[in-house]
Structure 1
Amino acid sequence: MASVKVKFRPSTVEGGMGSVYFQVIQNRVVRQIGTGYRLYSNEWDDGSSMPAELGEGEARADEVHGIGEDIRREKALLDNVVASLDSHGPYTADMVVHSYHRQDASLSFSVFMNGVIAKLRKQGRMRTAETYDSALRSFMEFRNQVDVTLDAMNSNLIVHYEAYLKKRGLKKNTISFYMRILRATYNRAVDSGLTSQANPFDNVYTGVDKTVKHALPFGLVKRMKDIDLTSDSSLEFARDMFLFSFYTRGMSFLDMAYLDRDSIQNGVLSYRRRKTGQTLYIKWEPCMQDIVDKYPGAENGRLLPIIKRSNNERRQYESALHLVNHKLKEVGAMIGVTSGLTMYVARHSWACAANSQDIPLGVISEGMGHDSENTTRLYLASLDNSVVDTANGMILHKL
């Protein structure tokens, strides 16, 4: 059996980043396969021949951990290639390298998808990698962790997977979300020539249902602002984060979490939307400053204390969002909101408030960072009908 090892080649430049590669040895012939990953010398553990597990607070701790996970996946793929070649008779080191790069159709769907996830991480598309990983975990739970080859991905299997998700109580859009990710992965394999197109997703739903958007009328936003929550700091923090989002034209909680103190320059707040990459500029108002003054930023330079440490940032963000949304439901009950109040409602509320003030659609679109007025038109059209009913009632009352 061929030997597969993970190796690290330090940089020849002092303080530079070295490279990680796989070493394949078969019949004394040595071949190397680059991984594309680069690390500093202190980020490599010679004992385990893997990226080091850095402690909390150390720079790049999350990134190095992710690289380690990806390298383990890639090595598992290589080990599977070797095992497959072993079962078919004599082979060379070059055949191992060729089969690894080709990733032929005999490889499992999960191995191929893990390779896609690894590439997404290399490209810095961490959020997309997380969603792909979530979809793969769901599919493998359905399969009871029994893998399936690319050629075995057929319509019957996918229809049964859809039925499994429905039985678990998942909503239609969530099921479609998983299906679209799996379909995109499968199509990558087809485009790479690893399997023929069998259209296994033709008989399941992969669209997006229009959902009812909830928005708070301006009066309820004001009531929320005026309510005294000083006796419960967690409720007060949740309310203030909602208001900050509303003040900043519906800024997402994710973008709020990554704001730095130097995001404010010459009375203007600038930030880059992590969802679209678009840069937005917002005049810095006293009400925004009031919230920032109430919650001094963390030591890592963040404007708001959502992400307080430089490691495990994604986990901190998700934990904070979960807690804030949980507390917002309590705040909502205090002001008479029966539907679930979440941070995302702040974005809809700003759009609704702007629309009710006869602000031109193009201005609202630009303010929210939409790529077109059509997006904003659909956005406003999907607001809860109660908003329209309220507006109509006001008009009729004036007759």
Structure 2
Amino acid sequence: MGAIKVVLQKVKRANGTYPVRIRVTKNRKSKFFKTIFQALPEEFDEKAEQFTRKYANYLQSNRVLLKFKDKALKVYTELEYENEDFSLSDFERAFISSAKPAQIIDNFFYFWNDLIEDLNAAGRTGDARIHKHSFAALKKFNGSTQLRFEQIDIAFLQKYENQLRSQGGTNGGISVRMRSIRTVYNLAISRSEAKTKIGRMLNENYPFKKYKISRLKSNTIKKALQYEEMMKIVKMDIIKYPHLILSHNLFVFSFYTRGMNFTDQMLLEWGQISSNKISYTRSKTKGVFNITILPPVRNILDYYKENSLNTKYVFPILLKDNLTPMQIENRKHKTRKQYNKDLKEIAFHCEIDTNLTSYVARHTFANSLKQLGVATDVISEALGHETLAITQTYLKDLDSSVIDEASALLL
């Protein structure tokens, strides 16, 4: 028999506590299942698998915790009796079905809340934030969190789309909301037995067979600077505006590092920098980049080496090491907001009319290569796109000009 144990999962929450989970291990693979509890390390006895006296209402809570474990043991034993080769996914479906009554299992928001908690626990706080906003938007439209899966049909989705449009929603924004709903629906399917009433209903009434999210193509035009405008920013006498130095450096650094995005700049560590290369994995696509350090980038690196905060990070965005995923997400949100505000002021001083944001540096990098003569396949590789078609779509909204040479001409 596999091992079933109550543990304090080592995923620190924003309030300093850790989730108390049921860990099920089979064939050296483990899965964690949530309980209703979270605790500080000193409030939980790992060896005894129970709360200490420091935990509020510890006696009652330990009794409830024991029920969670007993339920897991019962489900595991029954599955093993039926088929000793069952998988952890089989256990997950059986455990969830047995842990909650059918009316709760059929509640769409129940699965959504589970997804958000799992994303946060996995450190995917950015995805969790997107789902949290989508959760709130649908709750407002629905009027409550009482929503059965069978209510989510094409008519429901179309009505929701119409409401979002009436509030000024764009194709891109509506697509995000709908993809969140589809993700939750798919999660429910993966966790439900196909032969059960709910499992059959989910598969038979799958609304996204007819409601096509792919038609909600973003109509936002990518904004990019002309090469000459970018040079105005690069050559700006930033010393006159000390409060803009970080934002100016981030924008210029991004331009000369193939459009490195804000998140990757925030997480960039000194250990990823050699004498003449920057090596990192892009957080969005997981593509690996090895970028030659051009003189403007070297100047910025030298500046932050001299003005280091003694952290592992290059840029003074994360002000100390070992932050929790939630702390990193909160810091990213706050700093990027200030960054985009600073870029407006930089554009003003450089007499540039384009609405500058952190994304414009990446678009400008691509657009400048087009203006300076770089072939699309070279631009595609520089941006880290998987196919040339993606790059062609990416570039079609950007200003085109005479194509001549490669990125060394950006200097």
What's the TM-score, normalizing by structure 1? 0.71
Q: Percent identity?
A: 25
Kindly indicate whether the alpha-carbon contact (under 8 Å) linking 1:211 and 1:382 is maintained by their aligned counterparts in 2: no
State which of 286, 299, 303 in structure 2 corresponds to 1:290: 299
Cα distance between partner residues in 1 of 2:101 and 2:144: 25
Distance change in 2, residues 1:340/1:34 (3 Å): closer
Q: Indicate the residue corresponding to 2:315 in structure 1.
A: 304
Matched, 1:164 2:175: no
**Correspondences of 1:293-372 after superposition (within 5 Å):** 293-295=302-304, 296-309=307-320, 310-311=322-323, 312-372=327-387
Q: Which amino acid counterpart does residue 338 of structure 2 have in structure 1?
A: L
Q: Does 1:257 align with 2:266?
A: yes
Check 1:305–1:323 CA distance in 2 against 1; reply closer, same or farther (3 A cut). Answer: same
How far apart, in 1, do the equivalents of 2:148 and 2:141 lie?
15
Alpha carbons of structure 1 residues 356 and 99: separation in structure 2 relative to 1, 3 Å: same
Structure 2 counterpart of 1:100: 99
Aligned-residue Cα RMSD (Å) equals: 3.5
The answer to whether the 8 Å contact 1:158/1:204 transfers is: no
**CA distance in structure 2 between the aligned counterparts of 1:152 and 1:315, rounded to whole angstroms:** 35
Q: Does 1:130 align with 2:129?
A: yes
Distance change >3 Å, CA 363–CA 103, structure 1 → 2: farther
Write the distance in 1 (CA, Å) between the matches of 2:173 and 2:19: 39
CA distance in 1, matches of 2:113, 2:338: 31
Structure 2 residue ranges without an equivalent (≥5): 10-17, 24-30, 45-50, 58-67, 72-93, 404-411
Q: Would you say how many aligned residue pairs link Structure 1 and Structure 2?
A: 325
Listed one character per residue, the Cα deviations across residues 287-324 of structure 1 (whole Å, up to 9, x for unaligned) are 11212333334333101112213431111111111111
| Contact in 1 for aligned 2:7/2:22 (Cα 8 Å) | no
Task: Give yes or no for contact 1:325–1:342 (8 Å, CA) kept in 2.
Answer: yes
Change (3 A) 1:34 1:172: closer
**Pair 1:239–1:110, CA change in 2 (3 A):** same
Amino acid at match of 2:319: K
- Tell whether the 8 Å contact from 1:105 to 1:150 is kept in structure 2 after alignment: no
Gaps of 5+ in 1: 1-6, 12-17, 24-32, 51-74, 79-94, 393-399
User: Does the 8 Å contact 2:172/2:219 carry over to 1?
Assistant: no
1:246 aligns with 2:246: no
Change (3 A) 1:225 1:97: closer
- Return the alpha-carbon distance in structure 2 between the equivalents of residues 19 and 173 of structure 1: 34
Note if 1:198 corresponds to 2:205: yes
Deviations along 1:34-84, whole A, 9 cap, x unmatched? 52799994585744479xxxxxxxxxxxxxxxxxxxxxxxx9xx9xxxxxx
- Deviation, 1:204, is 7.2
User: What is aligned with 2:117?
Assistant: 118
Per the normalisation by structure 2, the TM-score is 0.69
Distance 1:269-1:146 versus aligned 2 partners, 3 A rule: closer
Aligned residues of 1:247 and 1:288 also touching (Cα < 8 A): yes
More moved, 260-269 vs 209-218: 209-218
Equivalence for 2:78? none
Task: Look up the SS of the partner of 1:343 in the other structure.
Answer: coil
> 2:85 maps to which residue?
none
Amino acid paired to 2:367: C
| Deviation, structure 1 residue 254 | 0.7
Residue deviations 1:233-290 (CA, integer Å, cap 9, x gap):
2323222211010011111111100000111123211011001111100112231121
Give 1:391 shift.
5.3
Does the Cα contact within 8 Å between 1:235 and 1:327 map onto a contact in 2?
yes
**Cross-structure match for 1:147:** 146
Query: What's the secondary structure of 2:359's corresponding residue?
Result: helix
| TM-fit CA distance, 1:148 | 0.8
